[in-house]
Structure 1
Amino acid sequence: MFVRAYLRASTKDQDAERAKTDLQAFAKEKGLAIAATYTENESGASLQRPELFRLLADCQPGDILLTEQVDRLSRLNTADWDRLKREIDDRKVRVVALDLPTSHTMMTATSDEFTCRMFAAINSMMLDMLAAIARKDYEDRRRRQSQGIEKAKRDGLYRGRPENAKRNAAIMNMLKDGQTWSGIIDAAGCSRSTLSRLSKRLPER
């Protein structure tokens, strides 16, 4: 049994490794050590998370996915959460979250099949509930943000997100050098729509 820590933050401006010390202390308290740490800056509302799926691919049956909170694992809609849960279940990975006390029992091996099945069922139900709460929180924040933007637009106060001039200049230089879009996206962490917009600023050859 290996413990694999998953750390996530939504943007590159946030520190995804903020909770690493807490996870290490928790594992030590349970008499276990973290075998590997997987860190990424991606939205929890998206399944496009390479490090999460690398973690799952590395897992053997019985391994533990340890995370700080359930919302670090999922802010997914119902369909995507079901897909992720199937992946976790198919690989027989045990999810343990610091904010989900019922999951802490998954850190301890037991030969009692009935107890194992009972705790697994309870943990699955609690995971579903917290994942649903995390999704609602995400949607509520998005709705409030949208309402705030609309009000600011009506009041003539909205100017949009300031452009990252330094990053965009670097991207345009890469475009001028003939680098592939896929390579630029990987290097700069930008979206394809941003790349498309910046490419239109280049003088025609």
Structure 2
Amino acid sequence: MLVSYARVSTVDQVAGLEAQERDLAATGCTKLFSERVSSVAQRDQLAAALDFVREGDTLVVTRLDRLARSTADLLSIIATLEGKGVALRILDFGGQAVDTQSPSGRLIVTMFGAVAQFERELLLQRQREGIEKAKADGKYRGRVPTAQRKAAQVHELRAGGLGASEIATRLAISRSSVYRALSGAVA
């Protein structure tokens, strides 16, 4: 049986999820597990798919990044599948499909998983370096804290006789943020 798993990181990526589901259905998958959750969050549908598959089945995903968040995660998923006698097929793996039914397929998936993780770590490193440079040049200040944007409202509500707890509840900020705004030390 071909069992498929589709995932997007946010609820806004409806088109991406629909495209994955379409591609998976076109390959003849008879059971679909899909979810809208970040790869670093708990992936309940992936766990359900891994529990559902049986010996002789193949788990099908559109791309490697839809399945695993790191090489260690990928290897863990592959070990789980292999322990159950289940193959993994990735439809778009550098322009071609690849599966873990052969030793060369397992090697390719593992190597590309490691390369993908390496690229992600390099991207994050470059991003951190860019932020540090922008901070040093005075061009990066980060986002304006929510409480700072609401300081005027805090003062208005306080002038209206409300206490810190009620102000915090109404403005969806913490009590400590209310006190900082009132003292003029909002950061």
Short-chain TM bin: 0.5 to 0.7
In the TM superposition, structure 1's runs of 4+ consecutive aligned residues that sit over 4 Å from their partners are 161-165, 197-203
1:48-90: CA deviations, max 9, x gaps? 4222111101111122211111122223143x33322221211
Q: Secondary structure at the match of 1:19?
A: helix
1:42 counterpart = 2:43: no
Structure-1-length-normalised TM-score: 0.61
Q: RCO higher in 1 or 2 (8 Å CA, sep ≥ 6)? A: 1
Stretches of structure 1 that go unaligned for 5 or more consecutive residues are 107-118, 166-175, 177-196
The alignment status of 1:74 with 2:68, answered yes or no, reads: yes
What is aligned with 1:110? none
CA contact (8 A) 1:75 1:134 kept: no
1:160 is aligned, of 142, 147, 150, to 142
| 3-state secondary structure, aligned to 1:36 | strand
Aligned counterpart, 2:92: 99
Aligned length: 154
TM-score (norm 2): 0.66
Contact 1:71–1:130 (CA<8 Å) still a contact in 2?
Answer: no
Query: Which of 79, 85, 96 is the equivalent residue of 2:78?
Result: 85
- What is the Cα deviation at residue 12 of structure 1? 4.2
Cα 1:14–1:163, aligned 2, differ >3 Å: closer, same or farther? farther
Q: What SS class does the counterpart of residue 8 from structure 1 fall into?
A: strand
Q: 1:161 and 1:12 mapped to 2: Cα distance?
A: 23
**Partner letter of residue 22 of structure 1?**
D
- In the other structure, the counterpart of 2:158 is none
User: CA–CA distance in 1 between the matches of 2:176 and 2:52?
Assistant: 41
Rounded Cα–Cα distance in structure 1 between residues aligned with 2:60 and 2:146: 34
Q: Partner of 2:139: helix, strand, or coil?
A: coil
Q: Is the 8 A contact 2:3 2:59 kept in 1?
A: yes
Counterpart CA distance in 2 for 1:159 and 1:74 is 33
Supply the distance in 2 between the matched residues of 1:121 and 1:199 (Cα, whole angstroms). Answer: 59
Distance in 1, matches of 2:105 and 2:175, equals 49
Q: Which amino acid in 2 is paired with 1:14? A: Q
* Equivalent runs, 1:8-157 vs 2, <5 Å: 8-15=7-14, 16-17=16-17, 18-25=19-26, 27=27, 32-43=28-39, 46=40, 48-78=42-72, 80-100=73-93, 101=96, 103=98, 119-157=101-139
What's the CA shift for 1:6? 1.5
Deviations 1:135-180 (A, max 9, x none): 1121122112211211221122223356789xxxxxxxxxx7xxxx
Q: Which has the larger radius of gyration?
A: 2
Match of 1:4 in 2: 3
Match of 1:192 in 2: none
Deviation at 1:95, TM superposition (A): 0.9
Q: How many percent identity over aligned positions?
A: 30
